[in-house]
Structure 1
Amino acid sequence: MIVFFVSSIGIIFFNMLKKLNLENILFLDIETVPEFSSYDELSDEKKTLWELKSQYQRKDEFTAKEFYDRAGIWAEFGKIVCISVGYFVLKENNRSFRTTTFHGEEKKLLQGFKELLNNYFHQAQHLLCAHNGKEFDFPYIARRMLIHSIELPSKLDLFGKKPWEVPHLDTLELWKFGDYKHYTSLKLMTHVLGVPSPKDDIDGSQVRDVFYEENNVLRIVSYCEKDVVAIAQIFLKLRQEKLLEESEITSV
């Protein structure tokens, strides 16, 4: 059994990283938007709570209403519009990387994601990997599941687990080397590591408009799946392995 050690300050031994079986890792990314299309749709109580929650970030530069377009980054005021996942399939000397996406009504997509984890990624050796996942994707999914009264799958239920028992990998954390102050975006990491950039259409700041104004969730899905591929490519680069070629990547 491979022991994956994560220190209290997030330093990960890369020699252990190389020993992980790629087929045991589920790469993922989520896209989120404000829960409602506009601030005016909030109840009076929710407006007050939003004003209090966003006060530190917006300061005096924006009103709570003006700042509402950014509500998607908080699980209490946003919702998930898609969860894209990707996984490696290794056969003899051949490898492929397959992506798929859960989208639609939030509760249903969360249930679909949970079923995937429970059916195929629930063993001790299985790990989840995202970029900034420990600060954003993993807790966001868990919070939205609880809001919808969905019991957490084992891979998201961290209660009582020691740091080295948490089944999560984070490409941002790997790149930090224990430096808490250092944030590197997925786009910057792909650039400096020579990985093809996924940002060829939209970026995170445009997801809200594409969802509510264009009503084009499939465009968001395509963007999200490209991010999943980029995360997997970064992971390969950190292991000093050959990057995926286009012919090895399929969407199912």
Structure 2
Amino acid sequence: MIHKIPLDNILFLDIETVPAEENYRNLDEDWQQLWEQKTQYQRRDEYTPEDFYERAGIWAEFGKIICISCGYFNHKGDVRHFRVTSFIGDEFKILKDFANLMTNHFSQAQHLLCGHNAKEFDLPFIARRMIIHGITLPDKLNLFGKKPWEVPHLDTLELWKFGDYKHFTSLKLLTKVLGIPSPKGDIDGSQVGHVYYVEKDIDRIVTYCEKDVIAVAQVFLRLRREELLVDDEILHV
């Protein structure tokens, strides 16, 4: 099935998120109470709500998006390129720019979105944050009333499961086992908040996010038994 999908019809993506506030103490009393209630089962007795707040970026209600990186194939004859771009700035601008990209270039029936664990994390997170900011959902994110086979989303994690729904494989592990150069650089997901709030190095985060997008595209190519991208084919725009 995936062999029949024209690569140029797929928008590959990855997001980076952080807690909405740098510190738990910056939250007002209502938000602190809501955070305590939301995380009581995850924290158990091991962490206080304040200690656990560094993980707030994984919940759309308590986190925010600081980078969306996208990649898409462009074929001209026998020449193949993979164009990578990123949206940064304040979250409203990031989401508006991403929505415009989808609306203007990836809104037709044949277009699909693809990420690793994107169905569970990236795409719902984007949609929820758009709703919070009052941004109209692009059609590719508005799933209300759609049947499962009508949802225009691909997920390399799901493709690798082959129906084994209890199985989780990280992107780092999947690239390793498939012989793909590791997407990870000098930081990992647990460090993004520190790099953003303390080091204030958004360029480092963009590099990290774009590497993941490239890795997802490489995994997709391996699943199709096609040649991996080489550096000369990857264009950062």
Question: In the alignment, what sits opposite 1:27?
Answer: 12
Q: CA deviation at 1:227?
A: 0.4
Cα displacement string for residues 93-126 of structure 1 (whole angstroms, at most 9, x for unaligned residues): 1101010000010001100000000000000000
Unaligned runs of 5+ in 1: 1-15
| Equivalence map 1:189-228=2 (5 Å) | 189-228=174-213
Aligned-partner Cα distance in 2 for 1:27–1:94: 19
Aligned-partner Cα distance in 1 for 2:15–2:199: 19
Residues 1:118 and 2:70 are matched in the alignment: no
Question: In the alignment, what sits opposite 1:3?
Answer: none
Cα displacement string for residues 123-145 of structure 1 (whole angstroms, at most 9, x for unaligned residues): 00000000000000000000000
Q: Secondary structure at the match of 1:135?
A: helix
Q: CA deviation at 1:250?
A: 1.1
Unaligned runs of 5+ in 2: none
Residues 1:230 and 2:215 are matched in the alignment: yes
Q: CA deviation at 1:159?
A: 0.1
The one-letter code of the counterpart of 2:179 is G
Q: Give the RMSD, CA atoms, in angstroms.
A: 0.5
Cα displacement string for residues 132-173 of structure 1 (whole angstroms, at most 9, x for unaligned residues): 000000000000000000010000000000000000000000
2:27 to 21, 42, 55: 42
Residues 1:154 and 2:149 are matched in the alignment: no
TM-score (norm 1): 0.93
Aligned-partner Cα distance in 2 for 1:206–1:100: 22
The one-letter code of the counterpart of 1:158 is L
Residues 1:60 and 2:45 are matched in the alignment: yes
Question: In the alignment, what sits opposite 1:179?
Answer: 164
Q: Write 1 or 2 for the structure with the bigger share of helix.
A: 2
Q: CA deviation at 1:88?
A: 0.3
The one-letter code of the counterpart of 2:164 is D
Question: In the alignment, what sits opposite 2:112?
Answer: 127
| Number of residue equivalences | 237
The one-letter code of the counterpart of 1:112 is D
Moved over 6 A (4+): none
**Percent of aligned positions that are identical:** 66
